[in-house]
Chain A
Amino acid sequence: MANTSTLGPIAPAMTRPTGTAFPALLKDAALFALVTLGLSIPVVAYRTDLGQGTGLELTARWGLVASLCLAVFVLRLAQRLILGEVSRRRDARIRARADASAVAAPKALRPGRALGSLTLAVALTLPALAALGSGGLSEGRYWIDLGILILTYVMLGWGLNIVVGLAGLLDLGYVAFYAVGAYSYALLSTVFGLSFWICLPLAGLFAAAFGILLGFPVLRLRGDYLAIVTLAFGEIIRLVLINWVDFSGGSAGISSIPRASFFGIPFTKGEGGFADLFGLSFSPMHRVIFLYYLILVLALITNVVTLRMRRLPLGRAWEALREDEIACRSLGIDTTITKLTAFALGAMFAGFAGSFFAVRQGFVSPESFNFLESAIILAIVVLGGMGSQIGVVIAAIVMVGAPELLRNLGFLKAVFGQGFDPSEYRLLLFGLAMVAMMVWRPRGLISERHPSVRLSEAKR
């Protein structure tokens, strides 16, 4: 397990925050500020801009550097004071527990279930809530669109969770399968005129086939090599999509992809449309709500399949593999097949999500499938606590929903000036959050990764 008093204090003598004198803390924080000063020269202190002439012009920003150093100083001091207190209390608690050694470990709390039901209820009623909250269906469109976006990431996160969280295979090219799904639908529908409902399973199959194709040779590799190979594979797919113009339309992408229909009934105005058949007055919101429930159902299918798989021998093999590959092999588990199924299943769900993405946008281009997208999905899985289903939902809401909301908050602009755009800092914070997560809570925000099957349950 990771050391809890992390963020590396400078001097080794200070590794124990408990009972450190205040001047020492001040010195430590000052050292941190000093390092920050060193790091900010020159990338923060001088900004390069294209001037009127040919060359770049420098602008000094020492005020920014000073406030940055001050912020680091204060934060570090606060961290040491608060964490020092926390760890002192925990140490005391552990000691007390050790004294009363007969006391059994407290029963693990399961906050996940209640939280899960609540989230599901909100998700199911979101269109109604949005309509009530903003006074009309069309006015609530923003919220439903945001819901669709979050659910897409939830579905991708759940799909990747099978690969990373359950089977312990780090896949940095997950977005490649998402791309395969999106382009499958885009091409099948524009070239062959197939409907969404035929393309959806096909897209999943194609993506799974790609997963097997990639997985077969590379799954023998050890963890970080596998990660790099999947990264390379993802980049190759993107580069091929950009450069093979005859096939994929190059970087211009494929546009005017047919819209989704209500199981064959188009969402159009007039005769034979959805509104006409069901005796409703036409509203463009019907399609949006339909898309919302479509992605909700797709995501829930992913979730149910994952939860069921975890209880099957195969799912248990995944989890065993994650914990110890050598032990698995010694026990006669076919690691290649086990990994391959996880890989293919994860890829299949990415394929479904991809074809949903294509039908929702009506447009696909290679730029939607770059490495950053993979990294965001991975960040969602990691921050959710690898293997935790509800954690993925929370992480997706925090990481995808929160920046969207921040963008529209006026008072932030008032505080930080007009040019302030919180979404600019989104990825920066993603990166920091990933590091912080690994350092402090490597098992995730909600550390609810119990083994799916316990020996004691089997005995009962």
Chain B
Amino acid sequence: MEFFAQQFINGLTLGSIYGLIALGYTMVFGIIGMVNFAHGDVFMLSSFIALIFFLILTSWLGLTSVALVFLIVLVVAMLLTALWGWAIERVAYRALRGSFRLAPLISAIGVSIFLSNFVQVVQGARNKPLPPLVRDVIVLYQNEQYTVTLSYKQANIMATTAALLAGFWYLVQRTPFGRAQRACEQDRRMAALLGINVDRTISLTFVLGAALAAVAGLLYLLYYGVVSFSDGFVPGVKAFTAAVLGGIGSLPGAVLGGLIIGLIETFWSAYFSIEYKDVAAFLILIVVLIFKPSGILGRPEVEKV
């Protein structure tokens, strides 16, 4: 039971990170119906941005307050990654609206290959470790053999995720931008006729998705303490699985899917085999797509001519 509780906490932490990445997939899919294959690599890139700013702030500027460093890095990483998201949409995707069906996906694969190799070229191929900033843990429960703990890192990850999701939910549900975005999701042409700047809304969607990926990248870096140029692919596919499982296009679905995937992966590693944990995630993806492509919270898709 204690073991289960500990794994549950670990799974929720991992799931929060997946959920944040999955939001980027699901929003972009919702609005232009495209699988943004490069999203996982944007996430990896943001991890590198966060890593470098951590180093600048701690070793060059000598800041010691962990909370301050974390906040500065969070904001800077979100801004710079958002700029990447904007530039990618502008260069690689915008011109392809109205092109043939698979063009955006192929372009996104190109961006994905470019990004991971770009980081490899400019930062080198080796793993980049970050010394842990906080090691403290909160002991939740203790008996003779086992201790269930929640580390400050994990608490921070969950709190940051929850806070950002609340802010994000407010943005999408309660602001003019969110209304424009939902309108574009439903009918892009009609939205344009009603005076919504569709291109700008789509751009902003990519920017938001990238900013959320940056949060995930920062949290991932804090949690694992290491990042490498190839770290975008597998978390990216898992987050996509989460988005599909939750119902692609649905925002709460993405978070729910992320949590489920995180839990499944953690329990699978804990109780079955750690070698096949990625196989488990890929199998879930295949099974969900075959049997329930609309996911848990998604609407069934209507094929239009």
User: A-side interface residues toward B, CB under 8 Å?
Assistant: 1-3, 6-8, 12, 35, 38-39, 41-44, 46-50, 54-56, 58, 168, 170, 172, 217-218, 221-225, 227-229, 231-233, 235-236, 239-240, 242-243, 326, 371-372, 375, 378-379, 382, 424-425, 427-428, 430-435, 437-439, 442
B303–A326 CB distance below 8 A? yes
Q: Which of A38, A236, A326, A439 contacts B282 (CB 8 A)?
A: A236
| Interface residue? B143 (CB, 8 A) | no
Binding site for A on B (CB under 8 A): 34-35, 45, 48-49, 51-53, 55-56, 59-60, 80, 83-84, 87, 90-92, 94-96, 98-107, 109-115, 117-124, 126, 128-131, 199, 233, 237, 240, 244, 275-276, 278-279, 282-283, 285-286, 289-290, 293, 301, 303, 305
Given contacts A228-B35, A239-B278, A439-B96, contact A46 B52 (CB under 8 A): yes
**How far is B130's CA from A233's CA once the two chains are assembled, in angstroms?**
34
Find A434's partner among B35, B110, B286 (CB 8 Å cutoff).
Answer: B110
Selected contact of B115 from candidates A222, A225, A431, A433, CB within 8 Å: A431
A46 to B118, CA, bound (A): 14
Cross-interface CB contact of B59 among A55, A225, A228, A379, cutoff 8 Å:
A55
Q: How far is the CA of A168 from the CA of B283 in the complex (A)?
A: 24
The chain B residue with its CB closest to the CB of A323 is: B100
Q: Give 27 A-B contacts (CB < 8 Å), ordered by A residue.
A: A2-B96, A2-B103, A7-B91, A8-B95, A39-B80, A42-B52, A43-B119, A46-B55, A56-B129, A56-B130, A218-B286, A224-B105, A228-B244, A229-B286, A229-B289, A235-B237, A235-B278, A239-B278, A239-B279, A243-B276, A378-B106, A424-B121, A427-B113, A431-B117, A432-B110, A435-B91, A442-B96
A223 to B29, CA, bound (A): 13
A232 vs chain B, min Cβ distance (A): 4
CA distance A434 to B111 in the complex (A): 8
Minimal beta-carbon separation of A7 from chain B (angstroms): 6
> Which residues from B are CB-within-8-Å of A379?
110, 113
Among B53, B99, B126, contact of A50 (Cβ-Cβ < 8 Å): B126
Q: Shortest Cβ distance from B100 into chain A, in angstroms?
A: 6
Nearest CB to that of B128 among chain A residues? A48
Contact A218 B117 (CB under 8 A): no
Is B121 touching A433 in the complex (CB atoms < 8 A)? no
In the complex, which residue of chain A has the Cβ closest to the Cβ of B129? Answer: A56
| Interface contact A438-B113, CB-CB below 8 Å | no
A439 to B128, CA, bound (A): 34
CA distance A170 to B113 in the complex (A): 17
Shortest beta-carbon distance from A433 to chain B in Å: 7
Interface contact A439-B107, CB-CB below 8 Å: yes
B285 touches A239 (CB 8 A): no
Choose from A1, A41, A224, A433 the contact partner of B98 (Cβ within 8 Å): A1
Asked if residues A438 and B60 are in contact (CB atoms below 8 Å), the reply is no
Task: Considering the complex, give the chain A residue whose CB is closest to the CB of B119.
Answer: A43
Nearest first, the 9 closest Cβ-Cβ pairs linking A and B are A434-B110, A431-B114, A431-B113, A6-B95, A232-B282, A438-B107, A435-B110, A428-B117, A42-B52
Q: Do A430 and B107 contact each other (CB < 8 Å), given the known contacts A39-B83, A56-B55, A58-B59?
A: no
**Whole-angstrom distance from the CB of A398 to the nearest CB of chain B?**
15
A42 touches B49 (CB 8 A): yes
Contact status A2-B98, CB under 8 Å? yes
CA distance A259 to B178 in the complex (A): 63
Tell me how far the C-beta of B183 lies from the nearest C-beta in chain A, rounded to whole angstroms.
Answer: 20
Q: B129 — which chain A residues lie within 8 A by C-beta?
A: 50, 55-56
Interface pair A435/B289, CB less than 8 Å apart: no
Interchain CA distance A168-B277 in the complex, whole Å: 32
Q: Within 8 Å CB of B278, what residues of A?
A: 235, 239
Contact indicator A39/B87 (Cβ below 8 Å)? yes
Q: Are B289 and A218 in contact (CB under 8 A)?
A: yes
**Chain A residues with CB below 8 A from B283, complex form:** 232, 236
What's the minimum C-beta distance from B175 to chain A, rounded to whole angstroms?
23
In the complex with contacts A42-B53, A239-B276, A326-B303, A435-B114 CB distance below 8 A: yes
Q: Chain A residues with Cβ under 8 A from B305's Cβ?
A: 326
Contact indicator A428/B118 (Cβ below 8 Å):
yes
A44 to B276, CA, bound (A): 36
Inter-chain contacts of B128 with A (CB < 8 A): 48, 50, 56
CB < 8 Å neighbour of B121 from A41, A378, A428, A434:
A428
**Smallest beta-carbon distance A162→chain B, Å:** 15
Residue contact B99 to A442, C-beta cutoff 8 Å: yes
Q: Which residue of A lies closest to B45 (CB)?
A: A43
Contacts of B48 in A (CB 8 A): 43, 48
A224–B56 CA distance with the chains assembled, in angstroms? 41
Contact present for B90 and A54 (CB under 8 Å): no
- Chain A min CB distance to B245 (Å): 12
* Shortest distance from the beta carbon of A53 to any chain B beta carbon, whole Å: 10
Cα distance, A42 to B48, chains bound together (Å)? 9
Across-interface contacts of A38 in B (CB, < 8 A): 80, 83
Q: Which of B104, B131, B282, B285 contacts A55 (CB 8 A)?
A: B131
CA distance A229 to B301 in the complex (A): 18
Asked whether B285 lies within 8 Å of A439 as measured between CB atoms, the reply is no
Collect the chain B residues with CB atoms within 8 Å of residue A1's CB. 98-99
Contact between B59 and A438, CB atoms less than 8 A apart: no
Looking at the assembled complex, report how far the CB atom of B119 sits from the nearest CB atom of chain A, in whole angstroms.
7
User: Contacts of A438 on B, CB cut-off 8 Å?
Assistant: 92, 96, 99, 103-104, 106-107, 110
Across-interface contacts of B105 in A (CB, < 8 A): 170, 223-224, 227
Q: Please name all residues of chain A whose beta carbon is closer than 8 Å to the beta carbon of B35 when the two chains form the complex.
A: 224, 227-228
- Establish whether residues B55 and A58, one from each chain, have CB atoms under 8 Å apart when the complex forms: yes
Min CB distance A440 to B, Å, is 8
Q: In the complex, are the beta carbons of B122 and A2 less than 8 A apart?
A: no
Given A170-B102, A375-B113, A435-B92, verify A58-B83 contact (CB < 8 Å). Answer: no
Is A7's CB under 8 angstroms from B95's CB?
Answer: yes
